[in-house]
Amino acid sequence: MPLIIKDEYPEKLFREDGKRLDGRDIGELRPIKMEVGVIKNADGSAYLEWGNNKIFAAVYGPREVHPHHLAKPDRGVLRVFYRMATYSVFDRKRPAPGRREKEISMIVADCLEPVLFLELYPGTSFEVFIEVLDADGGTRCASTTVAALALADAGVPMKSLVSAIAVGKIDGKIVVDLSGVEDKAGEADLPCAITWYNEEISLLQFDGNMDLDEMNEFMDLATKSLKKIHQIQLDALKSKYITLKEEETKEIEEGVKEGEK
Amino acid sequence: MEEEEKTETEDFEDFEDDESTRDIVIPGEVLTEDIKNYLPGRGTIYNKDKTKIVSLNIGLKQITKNYINVIPLRGFYTPRPGDKVIALIVDKNPVKYKCDINAKDFGTLKPKNTIKKGKIKGFRGSGYSQEQANTEKFEIGDILVVKILSADRLNKPELTTVGKYLGKKNGGIVISIDPPKIPRVIGRNGSMIKMLKSLTNCNIFVTQNGRIWLKGDDIVHERLLIESIKKIASEAHTVGLTDRMEEFIIKQKKKRGII
């Protein structure tokens, strides 16, 4: 007899002191940690912790397209494989890719394609593997963010990075970065991504109820948060090289001290 | 061994030891908004309104004259005609060899490109080479030094083993590093590679596709050399690397008792 637990959501998504259930303000993000170069055998890789989300991304390419009939003679193809671990959600996630995985793979690929120069690599493919180890709302946005980071780490020429975030409405208030509970129990949910080259919107999905004025407010709020996420991405990429530099300067200083002695 | 990598001057310009050019930039980062005085060079692009120059790669910003370049720190090897690379034979049939050259496509080596053409000197009459053009010269798994005859975006690169320093390699060790870091292993005007050779007594052959062939007197020297090359690759973006590596090797030699 399987254990059946009903999905129960709290009636109120705001605490009495006006903060959200996890103690955040309306425009506050969950804590984000990014790292690049975590998978040794991949051409480029990145790891992201965004609240309770834990996501790995690995990039391989340019390499031969397999199956071969997917290859295009005039341009390369970007293939994204979004997968969730069986233990990433509360119920066991069946490991076979379903409708949802295919959709997210497609939107991440479409979202990243405008920043790449695929026409320079005809007949080849870039493959991005996204593995969600732990999921708690907003994995499609987090996946887009981490996939862009892994592509940059692989040395693929890009016009710019891509950042993504979900904005939503819970209990009549507009908030950024919805967590799992807020996503399910809230009224509206709007994931959006931006390519920083020319600041164009690369992804916009919508689910729920809201009017046009609210939509504008959503976008203003999203832009502010996206800038913060972009800064974290920059720091993550640069820190890989800057930390190395610092270690060396320390070594040199120590060497000088030894020499003096 | 007889090999000496004759290095092209073009590659050394990539990594100039100038402190002011050592900014790490990432894709999409604005390099300058002063478009009147600067032009986009390698690894850079204008934005749509032509008001800024942005970077395309993760790399080091460099200004030469009025061009802004970005020297990539990560990336893959793109074959160019004339490059000498280390290839591994992965397959063969009576018509051609298939070679792994660390690029997106396998290179093809045709048997006619493995034998010397033309008259043999010192013979009278029909002094043409008697060698048959077949694929029995090399075996699967052989390591070759090849030159790239033709390479473009669409077709598979074509290779040749006829020429100076080219042909099969017997013995030695092949290691690979990131292709963009190869210029750093060679150093400016070959300074780094000369230093490595003289200090470790090893023969080194560095190729553009990120593979390095080396052979020394004993395994101790070879190990030290491999460690040094890995260290160079991991610190490729720093300043004053040659001096620091020299210090490192001398220190390690004392530590390991090989002088």
Of A61, A197, A244, the CB nearest to B28: A197
Number of other CB atoms surrounding residue B243 within 10 Å: 11
Alpha helices in chain B (DSSP H): 9-12, 182-186, 191-200, 219-234, 241-256
Cβ atoms within 10 A of the Cβ of A196, count? 26
Q: Does A153 touch chain B (CB under 8 A)?
A: yes
pLDDT band at B164 (very low <50, low <70, confident <90, very high): confident
Establish if B154 touches chain A: CB-CB under 8 angstroms.
yes
Q: Is B216 part of the contact surface with chain A (CB cutoff 8 Å)?
A: no
B99 shares contact with chain A (CB less than 8 Å): no
Interface probe, candidates B58, B61, B230, chain A, greatest A C-beta count within 10 A: B58
Q: Which of A62, A158, A244 sits opposite B28 (nearest CB)?
A: A158
In the prediction, which pLDDT does B2 show? 37
- For the residues A4-17, what does the mean pLDDT come to? 82
Q: Report the relative pairing of strands A188-195 and A162-170 from DSSP bridges.
A: antiparallel
Using a CB-CB cut-off of 8 Å, the residues of chain A touching B72 are 155
CA dist list (Å): B179 to A117, A168, B112, B183, B245: 20, 45, 29, 9, 20
- The model's pLDDT over A110-136, given as tens digits with 9 standing for 90+, comes to 999 999 999 989 889 999 999 999 999
Query: Residue A153's Cα: distance from chain center in Å?
Result: 15
Tokens 């981490």 belong to residue: A146
CA dihedral A91, A95, A97, A99 (to 10 degrees): -20
Assess B50–A contact: CB distance below 8 Å, yes or no: no
Q: Does B76 contact A44 at a Cβ distance shorter than 8 Å?
A: no
Cross-chain CB nearest to A197 (options B54, B73, B234) = B54
Other C-beta atoms lying within 10 Å of the C-beta of residue B221:
19
Whether the per-residue pLDDT at A153 is higher than 60: the answer is: yes
The pLDDT tens digits of the residues spanning B13-64 come to: 444 444 445 688 889 888 888 888 899 988 899 988 889 999 998 888 888 8
The answer, yes or no, to whether residue B6 has pLDDT greater than 50, is no
A150 reaches B (C-beta below 8 A): no
Coil, helix or strand at residue B73: coil
Contact status of B231 with chain A (Cβ, < 8 Å): no
A155/B180 touch (CB, cutoff 8 Å), yes or no? yes
Contact call for B24 and A241, based on CB within 8 A: yes
Q: How many CB atoms lie within 10 A of CB A113?
A: 17
Query: In the prediction, which pLDDT does B12 show?
Result: 41
Q: Are strands B107-109 and B158-160 parallel, antiparallel or unpaired?
A: parallel
Partner-chain contact A238 B24, CB within 8 Å:
yes
Q: Which of B74, B237, B238 sits opposite A44 (nearest CB)?
A: B74
CA distance B44 to chain A (A): 9
A170 contacts chain B (CB < 8 A): no
- Residue from B56, B60, B78, B230 to probe the interface with A (highest A Cβ count within 10 Å): B56
Say which residue the tokens 């590596």 belong to. B245
Are the C-beta atoms of residues A107 and A78 closer than 8 Å to each other? no
Q: Is B91 on the interface with A (CB under 8 A)?
A: no
Contact A122 B154 (CB under 8 A): yes
| Of B259 and A24, more confident | A24
B57 at interface of A, judged by CB pairs closer than 8 A:
yes
Is B74 in contact with A154 (Cβ distance < 8 A)?
yes
For residue range B167-225, what is the model confidence (pLDDT) as tens digits?
Answer: 898 889 999 998 988 988 888 888 899 999 999 888 999 999 999 999 988 899 999 99
Give residue B131's pLDDT: 67
Within 8 A of B153 by CB-CB distance, chain A residues are 120-122
Q: Are B155 and B104 in contact (CB under 8 A)?
A: no
pTM for the structure as a whole: 0.85
From chain A residues 6-25, the ones with a CB under 8 A of any chain B CB are none
Nearest residue of chain A to residue B74 (CA atoms): A155
In chain A, DSSP finds a helix count (H) and a strand count (E) of 4, 10
Chain A residues touching B238 at Cβ < 8 A:
244-245, 248
* Each residue's pLDDT tens digit, A171-226: 888 999 999 888 888 899 999 999 998 889 999 999 888 888 888 888 889 999 99
Contacts B105 to A, Cβ<8 Å: 64
